[in-house]
Structure formats: C-alpha cells, structure tokens
C-alpha cells in the first residue's frame, strides 16, 4: 500500500517540514507551542499544526485521545521507511554463505554490545565505495574523521570500465544484497562532479540507485535537483541532506520547497538541534563541546555512525577493507573493526582478494585459535542457573544442566582453549558429551557472545 501524499488537505511533506524544523530550531519549537497558527502562517501552510500536535508535542502525545487521520498517515509513512531499513538489514540476497553467516553474527554481536535502539538503526550495508580521497566539508563532529579533500576520481577511461567491472565482481560475489551499497563514506558525494554517472552504473549493475547523503546540497542547487529527480525516477525512495548550521538549515528550506524534499530527510547536525552527536571519529576529541545553553552535545557513551558490515573501498587508491561496526574506542576510534585490509588494481584482483578473505573467515568455533567470552559479556547466576549478560541483552542456557553450563562458561572466561580442548575438558569435568558442548559453543558464537575482535588495529 502506498502512503498518500496528502490527508484532509494536509500535505505530508509539509508535516515533515514542520517536524524537522522543530527538531533543528529551539526557538521554532517554542513558538510552535505558544502559537501554532502563527507558525503555520509563517511557513506558508494553510492548515492548523494542532491537527498533528501528537507528532510534535510529547506531553500531548502521551494523552492523545485518538490519532487524527493525518497523524496516522504520517506514522504509516515513518513505518514504511523503517520497514525499508529492516529489509536492508535482513540477510535477504546475501548469496555468499560465509559472508551471510559472518554478517548475521556481527548483527547479533552489535545488538548485545550496543542495544536494540542503536542496533535497529544500523543496516550493516554490504559495501561503501568512496569516489574521492577525503571530504571538502570538514565537519568538527565527523564520525569517520574524513581527511581534507585531496583527490577526485573522474568518470573517464579507464576508470569507468574499472568501476563497472568492480561493481559487477562485487555483485557476483555477494549476490543481490550488493544493491544496498552506496557511493560515499568519509567523502561527500557531491565533491565528485561525476557522481551521478557512477550512480547510474550502480543502478544498472546492482538494480538499485544508491542512496545519497550530502552536506553540499546548496553548492549547486540545480545539480542537486537533477540528482534528486534522477534518483526518484530510478526508484530510490530516500536521500538525506546533512544540515550543519541553523543558517544552512534555513537556507535549505528557503531553496527547496517542501514538496521537492518530500523524500529527502534533513538530518539536523546543527548545534542547536535536539539531536546529540555520536562520540566517534572527530567528535571523540570534542567531548567538551557545548551548545549555547552550556549543555554537552556529544554523547557520553561509545557510539558509532558506521553502518557497513562488509567492504569499504576507496576507488582512488584501490584500498579495500572488510569492516563491521563497534563502539568507538581508543583502539577503534572510527567506530568499526577492520577485519581485513588490502589493495587492488583491477576487478579481478579485488574479486580474488574478497573471495580469499571470505574463505579465511573463522565462521565456526573450530576455526578459532581460542574460544573466549566476548569482553561485552558478564557471567551471572540467576535461580541456580548461569546466564551471560551484556549491558543490553542476556543469553541463558535453557535445557543445559547447570553444572555443565557453569563449567563451559568458566572455560570460556579462561579463554585458553580451542573448541575441541574445551569440549574434552567439559566431558571430563561435567559429563556433557563433546558433541553437545561443541553445539553449545557454536550457538554462543552465532549469537555474538564469543570474542572475535581483530587483535591489531589497522
Ligand atoms: S560528516 Fe560527512 S560531510 Fe562532514 S566531514 Fe565527514 S564525510 Fe564530510
């Protein structure tokens, strides 16, 4: 079912505009509370914001008698976007069994480490391809610490042929899931004048026009408009503008009509916005940054903006890394593990490298040098049974005798044994068969409870 664009003469894209401005601008939020009619008239809306009060007034929403049709329609629109995100996160279309198994495990691990709220926002995209070296924008909070823009990869020969064969190789190896890749990372897409050509190839080869996130929507509005149009024509349902300052936000709303941005999320990264910055990358070094009211604006706990469990590729220098998100730390300041790293000069080389990495992944406990409990997990006892607990989740040992479970966990905490050694020791001490112990370990591994963090930070 398609979400309608308008309900009771209220265009949903105008509702979206009202809400994003309320998030970005405290004075607007206050004015909306005090005088909704005046706000509507200033925005050029000919409808009453009270019709959608449940969307911008939390207190009202808590006691909302019954949702108005427009509130229901807007919530359905949001639900549609969340469903799309869920289908990107699902493993559907990941044809390579080793990649699929590894990615599923990273999803479980991330959930235990970061909790459902953050885990649901991460799509574990299969690949991100950078078309430049660095970024011209230079945001103080850049979660992936983009360096200054130093090189742009042109869509000329032989680059365009190399691009097409690189995408074809990745699609052949990964399967249809490759369509959820995108063409930026520590780069801004619009720094590259040929970005649209690269995206058109991406669409032709993977079947999906890649989603764009840019902080440069105002650099050349006509170009941005054409890109949005192309993207929409090719079936891409969502793009994003990063909003860096309040001035920038108001200029974006001035330049583009609400209808033009119907499928563009304006992400308010301005300091006055009610959103917090993720403590990763450059923001890690700016934990003392405050807004005008003196409130800290960088979140305290380790976070990440990394959303790839797959391949991060820079086309300028042929660098490829296999990465997966984690909480940013001194070891992993950019909020992702680097599991493998290499270089390629041709699509054939890239294909060989990726296949060899996938072949060499430890995807079963018998391939791990030692079986060890993940540092994110703690051991607890509940009603005479051992349980593994992280800050956000728990894993119990239902159906396993308490003594056996306790013994397995104690050996996992030791972390000195291979899976086979541990199974044998458990047989001697608790009487549980080796086959049962190995099956239990495999399950704990699949659930992300065992340590597989790469030893050396790249
Ligand atoms: S956040 Fe995006 S736009 Fe800003 S510096 Fe980093 S890569 Fe560039």
The CATH number for 282's domain is: 3.20.20
**Does 85 fall in a domain?**
no
78 CA from centroid of ligand 1 (Å): 26
- CA 321, CA 419: separation in Å to the nearest integer? 28
Q: What are phi and psi of 340, to 5 degrees?
A: -145, 155
Task: Name 323's bridge partners.
Answer: 310, 338
Q: Does 306 lie in the same domain as 194? A: yes
**How far is the C-alpha of 55 from the C-alpha of 49, rounded, in Å?**
10
Examine the fold and report which residue of 34, 55, 78 is the final residue of a domain before the chain moves on: 78
Question: In this predicted structure, which of 98-112, 218-232, 263-277, 419-433 has the lowest mean pLDDT?
Answer: 263-277
Pocket test residue of 130, 142, 278 for ligand 1, highest count of atoms within 8 A of CB = 142
Q: Is 383 exposed, middle or buried (0-12, 13-18, 19+ CB in 10 A)?
A: exposed
Residue 1 lies in a domain: no
Per-residue pLDDT tens over the stretch 386-445: 999 999 999 999 889 999 999 999 999 999 999 999 999 999 999 999 999 999 999 999
Q: Which whole number is the average pLDDT over 355-362?
A: 96
Does 298 share its domain with 389?
Answer: no
Q: Name the pTM for this structure.
A: 0.93
**Whether residues 164 and 282 fall in one domain:** yes
Which atom number of ligand 1 is nearest to the Cα of residue 213? 2
- Domain for residue 452, yes or no? no
Among 361, 391, 407, give the residue marking a domain's end. Answer: 361
- Non-local (6+) Cβ contacts of 220 within 8 A are 190
Task: Tell whether 406 and 265 lie within a shared domain.
Answer: no
pLDDT band at residue 177, thresholds of 50, 70 and 90? very high
**Confidence (pLDDT) at 301:** 65
135 lines ligand 1 (CB under 6 A): yes
C-beta 149 within 6 A of ligand 1: no
Residues 337 and 454: beta-carbon distance below 8 Å: yes
As for how many domains the chain has, the answer is 3
**What's the confidence (pLDDT) of residue 458?**
46
451 belongs to a structural domain: no
Which pLDDT band holds residue 86 (cuts at 50, 70, 90)? very high
Query: Counting every residue, how long is the chain?
Result: 458
**Last-in-domain residue among 342, 361, 380:** 361
- What is the average pLDDT score of the chain? 93
* Binding site membership of 297 for ligand 1 (Cβ less than 6 Å): no
Domain that holds residue 61: 6-78
Residue 242 C-alpha to ligand 1 middle, in angstroms?
A: 9
**Is residue 2 over pLDDT 60?**
no
Residue 86 counted as domain residue: no
pLDDT tens by residue, 194-238? 999 999 999 999 999 999 999 999 999 999 999 999 999 999 989
Residue 214 alpha carbon, nearest atom of ligand 1: 3
* pLDDT higher than threshold 90 for residue 288: no
Is 341 within the bounds of a domain? yes
Kindly state whether residues 190 and 322 are assigned to the same domain.
yes
Place of tokens 């660095």: 134
Q: Is the dihedral of CA 22, 79, 10, 255 positive or negative?
A: positive
Structure tokens given for 59? 């207190």
Q: Is residue 338's pLDDT more than 80?
A: yes
The answer to whether residues 145 and 248 belong to one domain is yes
Do 142 and 165 fall within a single domain?
Answer: yes
Inter-CA distances, 15 with 3, 9, 52, 78, Å: 14, 11, 8, 12
Q: Are 373 and 449 in contact (CB under 8 A)?
A: yes
For residue 387, give the 3-state DSSP assignment: strand
pLDDT of residue 256: 97
Cβ atoms within 10 Å of 33's Cβ, excluding its own: 15
Asked whether 186 lines ligand 1 (CB < 6 A), one says yes
CA of 37 to the centre of ligand 1 (A): 37
Residue 397 covered by a domain: yes
Say whether both 237 and 373 belong to one domain.
no
124 inside domain: yes
191 CB near ligand 1 (under 6 Å): no
| Residue 309 and residue 440 share a domain | no
For 310, the token pair is: 């797959």
Instruction: Provide DSSP, 308-358.
Output: EEEEEEETTTTEEEEEEE----SSSTTSEEEEEEEE-SSHHHHHHHHHHHH
CA 157 to ligand 1 centroid distance, Å = 28
Is 323's C-beta closer than 6 angstroms to any atom of ligand 1?
no
- The CA angle 444-447-452, to the nearest 5 degrees, is 80
440 and 329 in a single domain? The answer is no
The verdict on 329 and 373 lying in the same domain is no
Q: Is the CB of 139 under 6 A from ligand 1?
A: yes
**Is 284 in the same domain as 201?**
yes
Q: How far is the CA of 188 from the centre of ligand 1 (A)?
A: 6
């Amino acid at each position: 079912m398609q979400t309608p664009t308008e309900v009771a003469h209220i265009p949903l894209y105008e509702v979206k505009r009202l809400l994003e401005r309320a998030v970005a601008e405290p004075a607007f939020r206050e004015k909306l509370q005090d005088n909704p009619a005046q706000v509507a008239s200033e925005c050029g809306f000919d409808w009453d914001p009270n019709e959608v009060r449940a969307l911008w007034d939390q207190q009202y929403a808590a006691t909302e008698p019954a949702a108005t049709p427009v509130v229901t329609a807007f919530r359905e629109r949001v639900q549609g976007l969340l469903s799309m995100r869920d289908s990107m996160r699902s493993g559907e279309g990941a044809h390579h069994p080793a990649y699929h198994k590894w990615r599923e495990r990273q999803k479980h691990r991330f959930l235990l480490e970061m909790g459902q709220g953050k885990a649901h926002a991460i799509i574990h995209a299969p690949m991100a391809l950078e078309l430049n070296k660095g970024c011209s924008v230079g945001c103080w909070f850049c979660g992936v610490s983009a360096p200054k823009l130093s090189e742009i990869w042109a869509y000329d020969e032989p680059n365009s042929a190399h691009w097409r064969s690189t995408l074809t190789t990745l699609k052949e190896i990964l399967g249809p899931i490759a369509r959820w890749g995108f063409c930026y990372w520590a780069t801004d897409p619009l720094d590259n004048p040929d970005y649209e050509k690269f995206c058109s190839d991406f669409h032709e080869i993977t079947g999906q026009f890649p989603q764009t996130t840019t902080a440069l929507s105002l650099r050349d509005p006509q170009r941005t408009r054409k890109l949005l149009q192309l993207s929409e024509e090719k079936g891409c349902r969502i793009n994003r503008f990063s909003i860096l300052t309040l001035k920038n936000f108001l200029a974006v709303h001035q330049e583009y009509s609400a209808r033009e941005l119907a499928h563009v999320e304006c992400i308010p990264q301005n300091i006055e916005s009610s959103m917090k910055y993720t403590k990763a990358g450059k923001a890690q070094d700016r934990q003392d940054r405050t807004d005008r009211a003196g409130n800290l604006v960088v979140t305290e706990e380790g976070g990440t903006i990394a959303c790839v469990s797959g391949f991060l590729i820079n086309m300028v220098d042929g660098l490829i890394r296999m990465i997966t998100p984690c909480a940013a730390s001194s070891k992993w300041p950019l909020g992702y593990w680097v599991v493998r790293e290499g270089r390629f000069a041709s699509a054939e080389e890239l294909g060989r490298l990726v296949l060899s990495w996938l072949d060499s992944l430890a995807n079963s406990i018998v391939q791990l040098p030692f079986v060890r409990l993940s540092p994110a997990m703690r051991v607890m006892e509940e009603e005479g049974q051992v349980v593994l607990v992280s800050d956000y989740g728990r894993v119990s040992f239902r159906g396993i005798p308490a003594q056996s479970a306790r013994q397995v966990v104690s050996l996992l905490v030791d972390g000195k044994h291979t899976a086979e050694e541990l199974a044998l020791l458990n047989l001697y001490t608790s009487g549980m068969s080796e086959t049962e112990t190995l099956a239990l370990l495999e399950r704990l591994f699949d659930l992300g409870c065992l340590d597989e963090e790469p030893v050396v930070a790249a």
